[in-house]
């Protein structure tokens, strides 16, 4: 169903069935089920070395999704089964994972590159191009390796989303994208419609809901607080996105290891509303995002890194999202996740994604260091800010409350 046109109650307005339907029933139905798709299990065009889609070294494969393996609401699928078409402008969270199988590895391994890509020929300011890229080394011969990528972006109506897999040009043997429902999957769902574009200013959290009481005098202010204001907050949730990272660091960095984001975008000009800031004094601008309100947030980051020297025993990189509370950087942070892997002189990527309760004043940064080596690491092909998303950091406000609070 199309997004309702939200209008306000007027003073001394006569309440009639149409107004109640347009301002209460229709928005509740819309926000209770917004557009999504879920594809589980890709097409099957080979059984060598396993069932699934064949991969060929040095070639990009657009993943195809059979109709019987797709569930969708609002989205439509292209006739060739490769694209999912965005039904409305809005903020969407996307996730793709490819489970690949190879029957022969080279000595230094073979890399699998996975992408989420958006195409749109229409005018608009929605994200286009390779929205997210993750590269990982296929580790074990004759076994499966799963590589995930996820991203939160503003997309415009008509944008075509697809998932792609690239096999390293030096790979040997036979390779396949597994077609199992839990092996290879692609999801997208709308977080909020935000029909006026990325820079459409968020109203922030809606006012607290209050119980109606007997003999209450109901005026237009009370009606708008309980209905239109609530839906406006759902329509344009507060969000911030950081893109573009460049570094070249020694491993085992003990301090100042928060990455700096080349550009940070947010949908509010109000000070303190998901403001980019320093992780702490001396760390430099755009190393953290400050949380404006208590609530639940969707936090995700893509990071890719490269080890510059020949293989070192047990070498790997680690990156984390650090959540620092009111104690600042001197306090021990909450770490959402950590981990990484590497192949010499080639990027290797990871994603971190979580839904977390945060407090006003908390600061989030992304920290990186190389483990078990004093040699250099760099951010790889971080690309231009508007180009491929080798590094991407997104924080989106989902609503009031914290886990277990009942709020």
Lowest mean pLDDT among 14-18, 52-56, 91-95, 389-393: 389-393
Query: Residue 37: pLDDT above 60?
Result: yes
List the CATH number of the domain containing 112.
2.60.120.40
**Rounded Cα–Cα distance for residues 249 and 168 (Å):** 26
**183 with 261, same domain?**
no
Contact between 153 and 92 (Cβ < 8 Å) = yes
| pLDDT > 70? residue 85 | yes
pLDDT of residue 313: 59
Q: Is the pLDDT of residue 84 over 60?
A: yes
| pLDDT for the residue numbered 281 | 82
Q: Are 132 and 209 in contact (CB under 8 A)?
A: no
- For residue 20, give the DSSP letter: H
Q: Is the pLDDT of residue 345 over 80?
A: no
Q: What's the pLDDT score for residue 93?
A: 96
Kindly state whether residues 316 and 184 are assigned to the same domain.
no
Which domain, by its residues, includes 323?
239-399
Quick check: is 370 in a domain? yes
Cβ–Cβ < 8 Å for 326, 290: no
Residue 263 lies in a domain: yes
Q: What is the pLDDT of residue 171?
A: 87
Q: Are residues 245 and 188 in the same domain?
A: no
Q: What tokens does 347 get?
A: 């990027």
Closest alpha carbon to 166 in 133, 120, 131: 133
Both 175 and 58 in a single domain? yes
For the segment 249-261, the average pLDDT, to the nearest whole number, is 73
The model's pLDDT over 215-254, given as tens digits with 9 standing for 90+, comes to: 888 899 999 999 999 999 998 899 999 888 888 887 665 5
Mean pLDDT to the nearest integer, 64-75: 97
Determine how many CB atoms are found less than 10 A away from the CB of residue 321. 24
Tell whether 205 is covered by a domain: no
Model pTM greater than 0.85?
yes
Peptide bond into 403 cis (omega under 30): no
SS (H, E, C) 125-168: CCCCEEEEEEEEEECCCCEEEEEEEEEEEEECCCCEEEEEEEEC
3-state SS track over 217-269: CCCHHHHHHHCHHHHHHHHCCCEEEEECCCCEEECCCCCCCECCCCEEEECCC
Give yes or no for residue 407 having a pLDDT over 50. no
**Of the candidates 170, 192, 214, which is a domain's last residue?**
192
| pLDDT of 48 above 50 | yes
Say what the pLDDT of residue 59 is: 95
For residue 116, what is the enclosing H or E element? strand 110-119
pLDDT given for residue 126 in this prediction: 84
Tell me the average pLDDT across 117-137. 84
pLDDT band at 405 (very low <50, low <70, confident <90, very high): very low
Task: Using the predicted structure, report yes or no on whether residue 347 has a pLDDT greater than 80.
Answer: no
pLDDT digits (tens, 9 = 90+) for 273-304: 888 888 878 888 899 999 999 899 999 988 88
* Residue 255 pLDDT > 60: no
Residue 406 — pLDDT band, cuts 50, 70, 90? very low
Residue where one domain finishes, among candidates 192, 224, 247: 192
End-to-end Cα spacing for the chain: 30
Q: Which two tokens stand for residue 310?
A: 């020949």
Any domain includes 23: no
Beta strand 276-277 pairing with 288-290: antiparallel
Instruction: Report the alpha-carbon distance of residue 343 to residue 330 in Å, rounded.
Output: 34
58, pLDDT greater than 60: yes
Lowest-pLDDT choice from 36-50, 70-84, 128-142, 324-338: 324-338
User: Could you tell me if 46 and 125 lie in one domain?
Assistant: yes
Do 184 and 254 lie in one domain? The reply is no
Domain CATH code at residue 305: 2.60.120.1400
Angle (CA) 376 132 322, round 5°:
60
Residue 245 has what pLDDT?
A: 87
Boundary-marking domain end, from 124, 157, 192: 192
Same domain, 386 and 320: yes
The verdict on 388 and 279 lying in the same domain is yes
For residue 351, the tally of other CB atoms under 10 A from its CB is 19
Closest among 31, 26, 35, 33 to 7, alpha carbons compared: 26
CB 108 within 8 A of CB 23: no
User: Would residue 233 count as lying in a domain?
Assistant: no
Give the pLDDT band of residue 61 (cuts 50, 70, 90): very high
Q: Are residues 86 and 153 in the same domain?
A: yes
Q: Let me know if residue 372 belongs to a domain.
A: yes
Q: Mark whether 274 and 187 lie in a shared domain.
A: no
pLDDT of residue 166: 95
Q: Which residue has the higher pLDDT, 162 or 12?
A: 162
For residue 363, being part of any structural domain is answered with yes
Q: Which helix (H) or strand (E) holds 19?
A: helix 17-20
3-state secondary structure of 29: helix
Say yes or no to pLDDT of 387 above 60.
Answer: no
* Number of Cβ atoms within 10 Å of the Cβ of 62: 15
- Kindly state whether residues 180 and 325 are assigned to the same domain: no
Within 10 Å of residue 347's Cβ, how many Cβ atoms? Answer: 23
CA dihedral 96, 297, 22, 220 (to 10 degrees): -170
User: How many domains is the chain partitioned into structurally?
Assistant: 2
State the residue for tokens 């001394």: 12
What SS3 state is found at 402? coil
185 and 275 assigned to the same domain: no
* 9 falls within a domain: no
pLDDT at 400 over 50: yes
% of the chain beyond a pLDDT of 70: 87
Over the chain, what is the mean pLDDT?
85
């Amino acid at each position: 169903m199309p997004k309702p046109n939200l209008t306000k109650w007027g003073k001394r307005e006569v309440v009639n069935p149409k107004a109640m339907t347009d301002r209460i029933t229709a928005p509740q139905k819309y926000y209770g089920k917004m557009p999504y798709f879920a594809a589980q299990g890709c097409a099957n065009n080979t059984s060598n070395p396993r069932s699934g889609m064949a991969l060929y070294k040095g070639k990009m494969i657009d993943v195809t999704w059979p109709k019987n393996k797709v569930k969708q609401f609002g989205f439509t699928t292209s006739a060739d089964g490769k694209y999912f078409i965005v039904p409305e402008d809005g903020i969407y969270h996307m996730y793709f994972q490819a489970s690949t199988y190879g029957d022969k590895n080279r000595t230094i391994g073979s890399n699998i590159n996975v992408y989420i890509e958006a195409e749109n020929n229409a005018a608009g300011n929605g994200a286009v191009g390779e929205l997210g890229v993750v590269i990982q080394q296929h580790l074990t011969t004759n076994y499966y390796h799963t590589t995930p990528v996820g991203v939160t972006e503003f997309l415009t109506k008509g944008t075509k989303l697809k998932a792609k897999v690239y096999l390293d040009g030096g790979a040997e043997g036979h390779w396949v994208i597994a077609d199992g429902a839990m092996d290879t999957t692609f999801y997208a769902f709308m977080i909020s419609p935000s029909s006026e574009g990325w820079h459409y200013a968020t109203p922030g959290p809606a006012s607290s809901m209050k119980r109606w009481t007997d003999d209450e005098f109901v005026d237009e202010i009370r009606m708008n607080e309980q209905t239109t204001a609530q839906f406006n907050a759902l329509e344009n949730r507060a969000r911030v996105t950081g893109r573009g990272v460049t570094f070249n660091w020694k491993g085992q960095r003990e301090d100042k290891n928060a990455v700096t984001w080349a550009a940070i975008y947010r949908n509010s000009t109000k000070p303190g509303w998901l403001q980019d800031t320093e992780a702490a004094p001396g760390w430099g601008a755009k190393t953290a995002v400050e949380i404006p309100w208590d609530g639940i947030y969707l936090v995700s980051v893509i990071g890719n890194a490269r080890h510059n020297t020949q293989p070192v025993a047990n070498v790997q990189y680690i990156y984390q999202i650090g959540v620092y509370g009111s104690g600042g950087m001197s306090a021990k942070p909450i770490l959402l996740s950590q981990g990484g892997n590497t192949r010499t002189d080639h990027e290797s990527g990871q994603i971190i994604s979580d839904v977390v309760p945060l407090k006003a004043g908390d600061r989030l940064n992304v920290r990186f260091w190389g483990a078990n080596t004093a040699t250099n690491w760099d951010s790889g092909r971080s690309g231009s800010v508007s180009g491929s998303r080798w590094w991407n950091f997104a924080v989106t406000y989902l609503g009031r409350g914290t886990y277990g609070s009942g709020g």
